[in-house]
């Protein structure tokens, strides 16, 4: 059975091994349509595969290829259905904060719940420093100062404290962090990014282009 290493479009796990189940050669397109199942969640995907190896006139069946299916073996993955969803941060987020947020997502997709929670906390800390570089003290004081200065709303203050506290738990508690809690923190940090960076830029762009 052939294997395909890719991100799963169902469970979002990175670099997971998909195992081929069956493969059908389609004469009209001179290539194979191969069905794989995820080694993590068992859901499936279909790949359109062509062969450009060094064996003229021969096109090995990907399902019967007992190794990884990749370009070094002569196989080329033309398309995957459904297509894995690429990860990205909301628009207009500064590069350093975007990098922290993507690390949180990647950790979550690889089931590293504690690491994901810690990076979500780092996102909030970086946002606070970005909004008011002159604010000193620990993260709790930074959040309170931003709210008192009306730089963030009371709702945003509550989200920020939630991420701060849960991030502290992930760092110091002996019990492992849960998937559900890590997912909540990701959602909170995404909303925080949108309120701080995305929506103001969208509004400014609209105002600049409206007669």
**203 and 101 housed in the same domain:** yes
Sign of the four-CA dihedral 18, 22, 26, 32: positive
pLDDT at position 72? 61
Tokens encoding 81: 């259905």
Structural domain span for residue 58: 3-81
What is the end-to-end Cα distance of the chain in Å, rounded? Answer: 62
pLDDT at position 71? 58
Q: Is the pLDDT of residue 116 over 70?
A: yes
Does 64 reside within a domain?
Answer: yes
Higher pLDDT, 167 or 175: 167
**103 and 163 housed in the same domain:** yes
Of the pLDDT bands very low, low, confident and very high (cuts 50, 70, 90), residue 27 is confident
**100 and 196 housed in the same domain:** yes
Q: Is the pLDDT of residue 208 over 70?
A: yes
Q: Give the residue among 192, 183, 187 at the shortest CA–CA distance from 157.
A: 192
Rounded mean pLDDT of 157-170?
Answer: 85
pLDDT at position 109? 85
Rounded mean pLDDT of 110-128?
Answer: 91
Does 90 reside within a domain?
Answer: no
pTM of the model: 0.73
Q: Is the pLDDT of residue 16 over 80?
A: yes
pLDDT, tens digit, for every residue of 39-95? Answer: 999 999 999 998 876 655 556 888 888 778 875 678 889 999 998 888 889 999 999
Does 46 reside within a domain?
Answer: yes
Rounded mean pLDDT of 129-156?
Answer: 86
Tokens encoding 70: 């990749």
pLDDT at position 138? 86
Q: Is the pLDDT of residue 97 over 80?
A: yes
Collect all residues with Cβ–Cβ distance below 8 Å to 64 and sequence separation of at least 6.
1, 2, 23
Rounded mean pLDDT of 119-123?
Answer: 92
Rounded mean pLDDT of 102-117?
Answer: 90
Rounded mean pLDDT of 8-12?
Answer: 87
Does 88 reside within a domain?
Answer: no
**101 and 174 housed in the same domain:** yes
- Buried-exposed string 180-208: b where 16+ CB fall within 10 A, e elsewhere: ebbebbbebbbebbbbbbbeeeeeeeeee
Higher pLDDT, 73 or 108: 108
| Number of domains making up the chain | 2
pLDDT at position 39? 92
Which CATH number do you get for residue 141? 1.20.120.330
**77 and 103 housed in the same domain:** no
**66 and 154 housed in the same domain:** no
**108 and 189 housed in the same domain:** yes
């Amino acid at each position: 059975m052939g294997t395909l290493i890719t991100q799963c479009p169902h469970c979002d796990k990175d670099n997971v091994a998909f195992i081929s189940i069956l493969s059908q050669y389609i004469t009209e397109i001179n290539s194979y349509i191969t069905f794989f199942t995820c080694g993590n969640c068992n859901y499936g995907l279909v790949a359109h595969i062509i062969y450009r190896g060094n064996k003229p006139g021969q096109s090995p069946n990907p399902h019967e290829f007992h190794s990884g299916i990749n370009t070094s073996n002569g196989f080329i993955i033309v398309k995957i259905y459904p297509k894995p969803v690429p990860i990205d941060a909301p628009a207009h987020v500064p590069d350093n904060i975007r990098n922290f947020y993507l690390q949180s997502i990647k950790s979550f997709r690889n089931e590293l719940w504690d690491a994901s929670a810690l990076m979500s906390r780092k996102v909030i800390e970086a946002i606070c420093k970005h909004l008011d570089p002159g604010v000193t003290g620990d993260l709790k004081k930074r959040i309170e100062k931003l709210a008192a200065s009306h730089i963030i709303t009371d709702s945003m203050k509550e989200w920020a404290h939630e991420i701060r506290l849960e991030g502290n738990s992930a760092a110091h508690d002996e019990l492992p962090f849960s998937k559900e809690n890590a997912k909540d923190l990701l959602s909170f940090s995404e909303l925080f990014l949108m309120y701080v960076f995305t929506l103001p830029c969208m509004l400014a762009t609209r105002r600049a282009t409206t007669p």
